[in-house]
Amino acid sequence: MNVAYLGPKGTFSEEAALRYFPPNGVELIMHDSIFDVIEAVAQGEMDKGIVPIENAIEGTITLTTDGLVTNNVWIEGEAILPVALHLLTVEGADVDDIREVWSIAPALAQCRNFIRKMNAKIKHYSSTANAAASLVKADDKHAGAIASEWAAKTFGLEIAKKNVHDFEGNSTRFIIISKEHTEVPEATKSMLLITPMQDRPGLLAIILNVFSSLDINLSWIESRPTKKKLGTYRFFVEAQLGAHEINLQKAISILKTYGHDVRVLGSFNSKQL
């Protein structure tokens, strides 16, 4: 079985893939973007894929939600990866001599207080792993990369300062996708994509009341523009019920009766990594 994930080596996506999938009989294949991962699965080039969809601090990863809209894939699992960010340096570097910090924009934002105290400049990279790899190549003792412990091991860097993020309890939620609609009999979560047929006052409240009236708990709601007209949206809704549950089936039927397009994106269980 081959599994697509967002590269390069040393990313949180690679770490999540390695933790989620068994080591035997699985080949992990790097891809350049989230869209590439989703499209490779949708087109049958890859058996499965793993992509980030939400970060506890930065929120929803819209590249993933937009990819789910335009590609026919099925969410068969969810993985929660704890995220800890560290300051990585080349061998022999002194933290007091660091004048520049390299990383991806969200990671830099999550370490704003630490960087301010260091009085360091920032430099943007496409990923935490790319920043770490670039630091190795530059062998710059006056720069540090904000990345994971996994990146430090991958690229042979030292962890000069651990846990430099501003907020504790950070984690990233990944979804596991496949082309085949595999039913999970005891699934505890489902994700729906609801596209209203027409806009009207109180539209979202009407949709949410359907779930509330059936005592369905929603753990995640995200709106995305339809890209057809300014001010029109479709809604991602995550319910704390499997797609096989009667009440969720009732909710879907009612929403369709109201004229809304409802697409079940997946039914799955969650796994802590």
| pLDDT of 105 | 87
To the nearest whole number, what is the mean pLDDT of the chain? 93
Residue-range domains of the chain with CATH: 2-83+170-178 (3.40.190.10), 86-161 (3.40.190.10), 189-272 (3.30.70.260)
| pLDDT of 233 | 86
Confidence band (pLDDT; 50, 70, 90) for 27? very high
Q: Is the pLDDT of residue 256 over 90?
A: yes
Please give the Cα distance from 83 to 237 (Å, whole number).
24
21-30, 73-82, 258-267: the lowest-pLDDT one? 21-30
Residue 22 and residue 176 in contact, taking contact as beta carbons nearer than 8 Å: no
Q: Tokens 């294949």 map to which residue?
A: 29
Q: What count of other Cβ atoms lies within 10 Å of the Cβ of residue 219?
A: 11
Closest CA to 160 of 139, 140, 171, 145: 145
DSSP 193-226: EEE-SS--TTHHHHHHHHHHHTT--EEEEEEEE-
- What does the pLDDT look like over 147-171, one tens digit per residue? 999 999 999 999 999 999 988 888 9
- What does the pLDDT look like over 34-67, one tens digit per residue? 999 999 999 999 999 999 999 888 889 999 999 9
- What does the pLDDT look like over 227-238, one tens digit per residue? 888 878 899 999
Q: What is the pTM of this model?
A: 0.88
